[in-house]
Structure 1
C-alpha cells in the first residue's frame, strides 16, 4: 500500500472495525441472505464472485467513494453535510437505508470515546461509510489505510453471513478472504483517489436481492 499506519492508527482501526465494536454489523447481510435463498450464492466460488462484484461495481464501490469524500471533508462542515445527505439518498432499499444509517449512528455513539470536533459536525447519525471515513480522517488516519480496513471488515462480515447461512465453512471463509485480499487493496487505493464523479453501480442482482429480502419469509438477518 502507498501509505503506512502508525501503531496508534492501527490499533484504533482494529478497535473501530472489530466485530466487538457495537455497530450491530452481525445483524445485516446486505441482501446476501436473499441471494442464498435464491440459489445465486451456493458455494465458495459463487460467494467469491458475488463479493468481487460488489467490490468492483456494486454498493461497496460507492461506499468506498463516499468514505473517501467524507475523509477529505473533515474541515469542511458544509461539504461533509452534503456528502452525508448524498450517501443516505443513495440507499437503494428500505433495508439498505436502515442498515447503513443504524450502523453509522451506532458507530458515532461508540466513537465518542475518542473525542473529536468531527463528531459534532456529523451529529447523531450518518451513513456508515460517512461516519467511519470522517472519523478516520479527523484522527489523521490515511484514507487508503482506513479504506482497506473498512472494506476488509465489511467483506469479513459478509463471509460470516455465508457461514451462518450454511453456504461455506470457516476454512472456505478464510480462503475467500485471502482470495479477495488483492481486490480489497486495489479498491482501497483507487477509491482513495476518487471523486464523487466516480460514483456508479451496476450490481443489479445484488440490488434486487436487497429489495426482495424485505419480504423473505424466514430470515436470520435484518437486510
Structure 2
C-alpha cells in the first residue's frame, strides 16, 4: 500500500515546522490599512493572490520540477519573478526549513531551494494535480490564518472562506502552463513591497 498521500499531507500540514504561521504574504499591510477588514475583504485579497498572483506561478514551479525540470533553473525563475524581497525570503526560508526537516526524516538531502521547488522535488512520482491542490489549500490556509490573528474574524468564518476557494484552487492546480505565468495581483504585490517598511508588524512578510 502506498503512503504517498500520508507523506504529502504531513509535509503540507500546518504543524510541519516551516514557520508558515510567521508569514502573511503582504496581507498584514492591507489589514493595517483597513482595506482588508472582514471575511469578504479577506476572501477577495486571498483569492486575488491564488488566482492572479503567486498561486499560478507556484503551481507552474511544482509541476515543472515534478515533470523533470532542473530544480535550480526553476528556483532562479521564482527568484526573478518574486515581486519583493520579502516574497522571495518567504519562499526561500520556508523552503530551507522544508529541505532540512525532510532530509533529517530520511529523504535524500536537499538544500537551499524555495518551497514550491523543494516540494516538487520531494513529490516526484506522486500525482501532480493532487500535490498542487494540497499545496494551494495550505497556502490559502496560511493567509487566512494570518487574518484570524489580526482581525475580528472567527474560525468558522475562516473555514467558510477556505471552502469558498476550493473551486479556484482546483482550477489553478489543474493548469499545465508551459511558461511561468506573470502576476496580475498588483495591489497584493504592492502590499508585499510596502510591508518591508511597515511598523509595527506581527508577521515577517
Which residue does the alignment assign to 2:26?
31
Q: Does 1:100 align with 2:91?
A: yes
**Contact 1:163–1:170 (8 Å) recurs in 2:** yes
Could you list the runs of 5+ residues in structure 2 that have no partner in the other structure? none
Q: CA RMSD in A?
A: 1.4
Contact 2:59–2:132, Cα closer than 8 Å, also in 1: yes
C-alpha distance in 2 between matches for 1:109 and 1:216: 30
> Match for residue 161 of structure 2?
176
User: Does the CA contact (< 8 Å) of 1:41 and 1:167 recur in 2?
Assistant: no
Secondary structure (helix, strand or coil) at the match of 1:23 reads coil
Residue of structure 1 aligned with 2:148, choices 147, 156, 163:
163
Offset at 1:89? 2.0
Moved over 2 A (4+): none
Partner of 2:113: 126
Alignment partner, residue 64 of structure 1: 59
Q: Could you say which residue in structure 1 is the equivalent of 2:9?
A: 14
> 1:88 Cα deviation (Å)?
1.9
Aligned equivalents of 1:40 and 1:110: distance in 2? 37
SS in structure 2 of the partner of residue 201 of structure 1: coil
- Consecutive unaligned residues of structure 1, counting only runs of 5 or more, are 1-5
SS at 1:215 equivalent: coil
Q: Secondary structure at the match of 1:211?
A: helix
Q: Given that residues 159 and 173 in structure 1 are in contact (C-alpha distance below 8 angstroms), is that contact kept between their aligned partners in structure 2?
A: yes
- Pairing 1:44–2:39 present: yes
| Equivalent of residue 74 in structure 2, options 65, 70, 83 | 83
Task: Supply the distance in 2 between the matched residues of 1:167 and 1:133 (Cα, whole angstroms).
Answer: 36
Whole-angstrom CA distance in 1 between matches of 2:152 and 2:170: 25
Pick from 117, 120, 127: which aligns with 1:142?
127
8 Å CA contact retained: 1:59, 1:201 = yes
TM-score, structure 1 as length reference: 0.87
